[in-house]
Copies of this chain bind each other. A is one copy, B any other.
Amino acid sequence: MAAKTTLTEIARHLDVNVGTVSRVLNDKAAQGRISDELAERVRRAARKLGYVPNASARATRTGHFNCAALLLSTIAGRSYLPHGLLDGLHDGLARHNLHLTIAKVPDSELNNPEYLPKFLRTLMADGLLINYTNNLPPHLVEAARHGRIPAVWINTIRPADCVYTDSRAAAVRATEHLINLGHRRIAYLDAGWIRDSNGELHYSVGDRLAGYRQAMNAAGMAPIELRYEIGKLSFNDEIQRARAWIRQHNRPTALLCYWHNALAGLVRAAWLEGLRLPRDLSIATFGGEAARGSALRVSTMVEPEYEVGRHATEVLLRKMAKPRSKQPPRVLGFAWHDQGTCVPPNG
């Protein structure tokens, strides 16, 4: 392994002082201006010798790591990290020369209530991004809170230091859209299977339902609610439930769905029942940015994952600058992505 070039080596090589080399390479020429000639020689030598600064040494000296850590939620043992969110976080951090470190509870530790991810056992990050969509073990939440390291909560409603999306407003919008198309029997397909480790539901479950009800009531229409815990049903059972529901209820002409992956069974059922989509049934749903290109092209209220990520980094940077401050919550709106599955009833 070719030894890594250090500042000292460059200094020796040029027969100047380490401090000088450091100042040049960090553009700290501010104090005690360094001659352009020397500066140039230093830069040249650094390039020639392939100098790469050592992040750890710098961190030990300066006291900060230039690193943000992302604590991931899990779904059935798998981490939850939509691509847009990763990109938003990454880009936002990169802009400030922070790198992103990722941690979740490894599968092997899922049942171990003692386990802490490395960055909670070790000083290595200046800030914490907590992705609290669901299923974050409570003891982790506790540890993060006690870690005294500036933290921002993604996807959860708190009095401060959080970024989340306005599910309720979006549900109102989507429902009104269907109403404006002329629908009167509009159903809502719930999918309350996103519970955290305390068995509690994610806020979006309640908020979307509330938004739907609000819009229906405002228009003087009766809510029609279909609800099953998708995770607990086989796909066939899911289909059977959906079929029964389609027959039973004097079929609605439109449907709003909590999350787009809950639609598979319903769409299959509609198919089997001989419905023509969207003519016989308009469908709108909530979904992630991936829903845009996904196989089941349904008109979607798209969660602005990238923007959530960007905002989260901004809030985090402010927290890092003023650790004791409370940053106001950032509430983001959804984007409507029309994919042609919402049309007037019978047409």
Q: Does A118 contact B (CB under 8 A)?
A: yes
Q: Which A253-293 residues have C-beta < 8 A from chain B?
A: 260-261, 263-264, 267-268, 293
Choose one: B83, B108, B297, B323; the contact of A91 (CB below 8 Å): B108
B100 near A55 (CB under 8 angstroms)? no
Alpha-carbon distance between A53 and B4 when the two chains are bound, in angstroms: 25
A117 to B339, CA, bound (A): 36
Contact partner of A83 (CB less than 8 A), chosen from B78, B90, B94, B339, is: B78
Distance to closest chain B CB from A342 (angstroms): 15
Q: How many residues of A contact B (CB 8 A)?
A: 59
Q: Are A122 and B295 in contact (CB under 8 A)?
A: no
Provide the bound-state CA to CA distance between A260 and B55, in Å: 42
**Chain A positions 109 through 121: 1 when the CB is less than 8 Å from some CB of chain B, otherwise 0:** 1000000011101
Residue pair B297, A294 in contact (C-beta under 8 Å): no
Q: Would you call A264 and B295 a contact (CB within 8 A)?
A: yes
Looking at the assembled complex, report how far the CB atom of A34 sits from the nearest CB atom of chain B, in whole angstroms.
22
B294 touches A268 (CB 8 A): no
A148 (CB) vs chain B CBs: closest residue: B2
In the bound complex, how far is the Cα of B236 from the Cα of A339, in angstroms? 10
Q: Which one of B101, B109, B264 lies within 8 Å of A99 (CB-CB)? A: B101
B residues in contact with A30, CB < 8 Å: none
A297 close to B122 (CB less than 8 A)? no
B107 with A263: CB separation less than 8 A: no
Chain B residues near A263 (CB, 8 Å)? Answer: 295
Chain B nearest CB: distance from A52 CB in Å? 5
Question: CB distance A264 to B102 under 8 Å?
Answer: no
Q: Which residue of B lies closest to A268 (CB)?
A: B297
Establish whether residues B235 and A297, one from each chain, have CB atoms under 8 Å apart when the complex forms: yes
| A244 contacts partner chain B, Cβ-Cβ < 8 Å | no
- Give the 8 A-B residue pairs with the shortest CB-CB distance, closest first: A295-B296, A56-B59, A55-B124, A56-B56, A91-B106, A264-B295, A54-B123, A94-B106
List 5 additional A-B contacts (Cβ < 8 Å) besides A55-B122, A78-B84, A86-B102: A1-B323, A56-B57, A90-B102, A91-B108, A294-B294
